[in-house]
Every structure is written in C-alpha cells, then in structure tokens.
C-alpha cells in the first residue's frame, strides 16, 4: 500500500490539487463576529464589498451565489456561530468553487468546520479598508486554514478593479489557485549566521528550554482563533507549558481585591500622567468605576500569575469576560510594561514581579505568548528594553516614498512604546459594539525607531517563525489622526515600514492577524538582534525564516 492510499479519504481528497469546474456561478460565504451588535454595525461595509466583488466576477462571466441569506430579523447576513456555519455548509456543493468574503473581524471557527471538508477551490477575499478589521479577519482565517492543513488561495483589493486583483481572480477562476510572490522569505536553514551571534542565540534557547516556562492561558481559543492555539506537544518541545486558567477565576479573584488597593493603582496611573477620557454615561463613555474595576482586574491577574507560578499570561478578553466586567485592555497594557503600578501579594508581604513586566499575550494568542516571553527575556540579556507586544496587521497606505502599515491592536500596548511614555498615553472607552460594559484602552502613538517584528505560527504540524526588521516612523499629527479615523481611534497605533517586504508579499505570507514587535537601539542592532533571535528560536525547534531585508551577516 502506498502512503497515499493510507490517508483517510477526506484527507486525500483535500490534498488533491483542486480543479476549477466550468460552472458560471461561484458560491460565497461570509463569517462574522459572535456579537450581534458588531455584525449589525459592520454589515453595510460587508454588503458594499460583496457588491464590488460581484461586479468583478461578473466582468469575468461569473455570478455570485450567496450560500446563506441576509437575515432581516437579525439585520445582517453573516454566519454568526459554528453551528450556523456547519448547517450552511450542508447545502454547499463540496466540489464547487467557494469564496469566503470578509470585510469585518470574524471568528474563524464559524466556517472552519465546513472548510475542512470542502474539496473545491477556496478563495478568501478581503477589502483593503481600515474601517473594520476585515483584513485582520482574513489573516486569522488564512492562518487557521494553514494550521488545519486546508488548501486555499487568498486575495485582497481596495476597488476590486485593480490589476493585481483582476489577475489574481482570473488565475483562480481558470486554475483554482492564486500564486503570490514570496521571494522575500529565506529559510534560516539555508543561511549561515555569524558564529558569535548564533552561539548567543542558541545558548539562550538551550537555557530557555531547560528552565521551562509556564504560560497561564485564561480561556484558550474561545475567540475562534484556531491558529492561536499551539498544540501542547509542540509547546512542550520549546520548553513551554500551559496553565489552563479560567476567566471565571479571574473574575472571582477581582472580587477579593479591596477598593483601597484598586484606588492606589488608579492614583499611580494619574500620577504618571495617563490621560483619562472620562464621562458620565456608562453605556457610551468611560467612567471612573469602569477603570477602578480594571484596576482590580490588574491586581487579580498579577496575584493569580504569582499563585500559579506563571511566567506570562494571556487573557482571552471577549467571550465570557465582556459579559461580566469592563474590558481587560488597560490591564494588558500595564502588565506588559516594566514601569507599572506595584502589586502586593494578598498577605501584603511581597511586591510581585518587582521591577519586571508580566508579559501578556493579547487574546490568548499562544504563538504571541511564546514569542513574547522569548523576546522579553532575550532582550533583557542583550541589554535592550524588553517590552514587546502584538498588534493587528490592520491596514496600510503609501505615505511619501514608504508603504506605512497601520499596526493597531484592539486595546493596549505598553506605554514604553509610546511617544512620551505614560505621559503620552491615554485611556478611552472601548467601542460599545464590542464591549457593552466599557473599560478603557491603553492608547498612544508608537515612538520612531528600529524594531524587530516576528510571528510564530503552526504550519504542516510544526512551529514556524518569520522574523524581519522594520522602522517605526513619525507621521504628522494630522496623518496619524486621519489613520485613526479610518480605523479605530480608541486603539494604540504604530506606523511601521517593513524593510524589504511589499504589502502584497506580507499579506500573502503572513500566517496571523497579529504581528509581534520589539524596539532595538538602532538599525544595526535591529539586524543583529533579529539574527540572534532567529538562532534562539531555531534552538527551540522552531522553523525560522528571515523575511525581507534582515542581513544574514
């Protein structure tokens, strides 16, 4: 029996090269949020995008056929749960070509089940718009499909009339796949790093693995981000172990924090100069009681991390928690900063994690957790400021000679990254369509400088890590404001120019909605640190690729 015959039928079919049937219609699905308010608010953008897509397909002689209708009662046309998705896919011809169209942030598990058994060619498409996190949703879906071993093609467009999109669409319609330029990706295994740097990285990696680390995960995976879950055996091989915690525990621990302790954190923030955009209307504005609850959450999170001996923690922050308490963003930003309000143990005997950040991986993205902890500790050893964070790869536009990405995360980044530090930081109410009970974000503009960017992801059953360098640029205030207004003005922003990677190369390759970023003292050190980090990751068994202009020596 050949190894091919040993494969289960479904898998064999999935792995077969998809062929494009000559039907004249293309089925379409749209995955949405799990929150009705978000689906309703974002529906008009999705509708506009689907109309533009339909026009593009019509020009090629094809018609779009939605596989699920607009729901007049719910006032949107998204698949809004995993169950709904499975039911929709029952009526989809599994051999027919299928487009997944995304203009919004979506929960990938709504369509993942159906897509894992779809045999026809799959095309994921997003509109090049900052308005809602549709590109972010697309990247999460692509990464989830990659981890699941589902074959797919992907495209994006601002107008759906540009040459890049039209050529890609034509290729998909005729061959069932879209090829992208990924010449910016160089596997580390084919490169030779300078021996001294390789040794520093490998030595760090060996010690990291031997010491073992515990990453506390508060409600793994319940934001639908299948890609963000690292299988335990892969995690263990890198020296990382999960402490599975519940957001209910976090909520319960919040109830044990005294009002006085919360008030101290609040006062610390005020003294540091954090601008609080406060109002009175709890439903729409940020209020003092919301922030005080966030201060309680901050203390509770640090105490739980101490109790379970965690080296880093990740709070899932949406499902479950959003129904109980204000959002965790301000908490996350504080945790990730070395200069943060002190937290004493409940018995008042110790200051917890004194002089250190408690690395936090937003949205329980375990890939970011591994990366964040490695980076924090390695940067400390290199003598650099260790604060790092993830951002969403939200959108981007040309500015002058540069393609400047909008890296924006849905609530918090460490103030150490901001122009002016704490004094340059502000907290604004999370949009109520996402967070009914409010809560402040931790917002600022990332300072100009040289950074290393990276992303850990799961592909072909193993861990990968892409590493590159970038420059954070300062844009005029008006341009920053314009970019905020085009996206989500309450969230922290980084204006990043990725070195040696074009927009389309990045979109084609990047296997995540998130990107990890950390500062270095200058351009030369950014390249050096990227190489050392590459060696460290390789030592942990991760398949590393250097992307774009990282000099190999």
- DSSP symbol at 433: T
* CB closer to ligand CVU, 146 vs 520: 146
Please name which of 72, 2, 61, 70 lies closest in space to residue 26, comparing C-alpha atoms. Answer: 61
Closest CB 364 distance from ligand CVU, rounded Å: 11
* CB closer to ligand CVU, 251 vs 361: 361
Q: How far apart are CA 154 and CA 173, in angstroms?
A: 12
Closest CB 466 distance from ligand CVU, rounded Å: 17
* CB closer to ligand CVU, 142 vs 410: 410
Contact between 455 and 465 (Cβ < 8 Å)? yes
Closest CB 363 distance from ligand CVU, rounded Å: 6
Q: How far apart are CA 265 and CA 258, in angstroms?
A: 11
Q: Which residues contact 257 (CB under 8 A, 6 or more apart)?
A: 296, 299, 300
* CB closer to ligand CVU, 105 vs 484: 105
* CB closer to ligand CVU, 136 vs 188: 136
Closest CB 137 distance from ligand CVU, rounded Å: 8
Contact between 506 and 455 (Cβ < 8 Å)? no
* CB closer to ligand CVU, 512 vs 520: 512
Please name which of 59, 74, 141 lies closest in space to residue 102, comparing C-alpha atoms. Answer: 141
Closest CB 508 distance from ligand CVU, rounded Å: 19
Closest CB 431 distance from ligand CVU, rounded Å: 8
**Tokens describing residue 420:** 């002016």
Closest CB 40 distance from ligand CVU, rounded Å: 14
Per-residue exposure over 444-459, b if at least 16 CB sit within 10 Å of its own CB, e if not: bbbbebbbbbbbbbbe
Q: Which residues contact 482 (CB under 8 A, 6 or more apart)?
A: none
Closest CB 79 distance from ligand CVU, rounded Å: 16
* CB closer to ligand CVU, 315 vs 540: 315
Please name which of 453, 494, 500 lies closest in space to residue 474, comparing C-alpha atoms. Answer: 494
* CB closer to ligand CVU, 27 vs 362: 362
Q: Which residue is nearest to ligand CVU (CB)?
A: 410
In 180-332, DSSP assigns E strands to: 185-187, 213-218, 240-245, 275-276, 312-315
Q: How many CB atoms lie within 10 A of CB 259?
A: 10
Closest CB 33 distance from ligand CVU, rounded Å: 7
* CB closer to ligand CVU, 146 vs 410: 410
Closest CB 104 distance from ligand CVU, rounded Å: 9
In 277-432, DSSP assigns E strands to: 312-315, 388-399, 402-408, 426-427
Q: Which residues contact 105 (CB under 8 A, 6 or more apart)?
A: 33, 38, 42, 132, 133, 134, 136, 137
* CB closer to ligand CVU, 353 vs 395: 395
> Roughly how many angstroms between the first and final C-alpha of the chain, as a whole number?
47
- Backbone φ and ψ for 282, nearest 5 degrees, come out as -55, -30
* CB closer to ligand CVU, 204 vs 434: 434
In 94-184, DSSP assigns E strands to: 98-102, 122-127, 153-157
Q: Which residues bind ligand CVU (CB under 6 A)?
A: 105, 133, 136, 363, 392, 410, 434, 513-514
Q: How far apart are CA 340 and CA 395, in angstroms?
A: 30
Closest CB 189 distance from ligand CVU, rounded Å: 30
Q: How far is CA 444 from the centre of its chain?
A: 18
Can you name the residues that pair with 51 across neighbouring β-strands?
none
Q: How many CB atoms lie within 10 A of CB 178?
A: 20
């Amino acid at each position: 029996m050949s190894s091919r015959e040993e494969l289960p039928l479904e898998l064999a079919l999935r792995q077969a090269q998809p062929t494009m049937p000559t039907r004249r219609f293309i089925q379409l699905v749209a995955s949405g949020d799990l929150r009705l308010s978000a689906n309703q608010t974002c529906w008009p953008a999705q509708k506009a995008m689907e109309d533009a897509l339909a026009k593009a397909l019509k020009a090629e002689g094809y018609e779009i056929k939605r596989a699920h209708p607009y729901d007049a009662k719910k006032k949107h046309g998204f698949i809004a749960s995993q169950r709904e998705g499975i039911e929709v896919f029952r009526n989809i011809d599994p051999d027919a070509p299928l487009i997944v169209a995304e203009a919004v942030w979506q929960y990938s598990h709504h369509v993942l089940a159906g897509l894992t058994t779809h045999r026809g060619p799959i095309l994921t498409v997003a509109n090049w718009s900052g308005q809602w996190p549709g590109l972010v949703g697309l990247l999460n879906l692509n990464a989830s499909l990659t981890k699941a071993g589902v074959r797919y093609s992907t495209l994006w467009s601002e107008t759906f009339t540009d040459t890049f999109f039209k050529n890609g669409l034509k290729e998909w319609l005729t061959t069932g796949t879209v090829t992208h330029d990924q010449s910016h990706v160089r596997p580390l295994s084919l490169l030779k790093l300078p021996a001294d740097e390789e040794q520093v990285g490998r030595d760090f990696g060996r010690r990291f693995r031997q010491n073992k680390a515990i990453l506390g995960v508060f409600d793994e995976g319940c934001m639908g981000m299948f890609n963000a879950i690292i299988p335990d055996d892969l995690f263990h091989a890198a020296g990382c172990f999960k402490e599975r915690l519940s957001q209910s525990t976090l909520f319960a621990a919040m109830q044990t924090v005294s009002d006085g302790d919360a008030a101290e954190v609040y006062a610390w923030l005020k003294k540091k100069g954090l601008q609080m955009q406060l109002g009175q209307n709890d439903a729409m504005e940020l209020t003092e009681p919301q922030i005080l609850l966030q201060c309680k959450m901050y203390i509770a999170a640090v105490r739980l991390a101490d109790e379970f001996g965690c080296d880093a923690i990740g709070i899932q922050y949406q499902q479950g928690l959003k129904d109980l308490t204000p959002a965790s963003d301000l908490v996350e930003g504080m945790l990730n900063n070395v200069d943060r309000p002190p937290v004493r143990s409940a018995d008042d005997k110790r200051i917890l994690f004194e002089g250190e950040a408690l690395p936090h991986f937003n949205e329980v993205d375990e890939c970011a957790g591994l990366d964040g902890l490695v980076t924090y500790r390695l940067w400390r050893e290199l003598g650099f400021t260790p604060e790092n964070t993830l951002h969403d790869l939200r959108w981007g536009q040309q500015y002058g000679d540069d393609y400047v990405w909008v890296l924006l995360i849905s609530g918090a980044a460490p103030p150490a990254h901001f122009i002016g530090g704490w004094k340059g930081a502000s907290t604004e109410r999370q949009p109520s369509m996402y967070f009914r009970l409010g809560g402040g974000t931790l917002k600022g503009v990332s300072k100009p400088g040289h950074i290393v960017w990276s992303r850990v992801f799961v592909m072909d059953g193993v861990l990968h890590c892409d590493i590159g360098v970038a420059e954070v640029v300062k844009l005029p205030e008006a341009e920053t404001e314009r970019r905020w207004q085009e996206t989500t003005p309450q969230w922290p922003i980084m204006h990043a120019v990725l070195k040696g990677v074009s927009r389309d190369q990045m979109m084609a390759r990047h296997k995540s909605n998130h990107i990890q970023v950390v500062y270095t003292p200058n351009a030369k050190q950014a390249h050096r640190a990227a190489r050392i980090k590459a060696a460290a990751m390789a030592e942990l068994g991760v398949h590393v690729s250097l992307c774009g202009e990282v000099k190999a020596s």
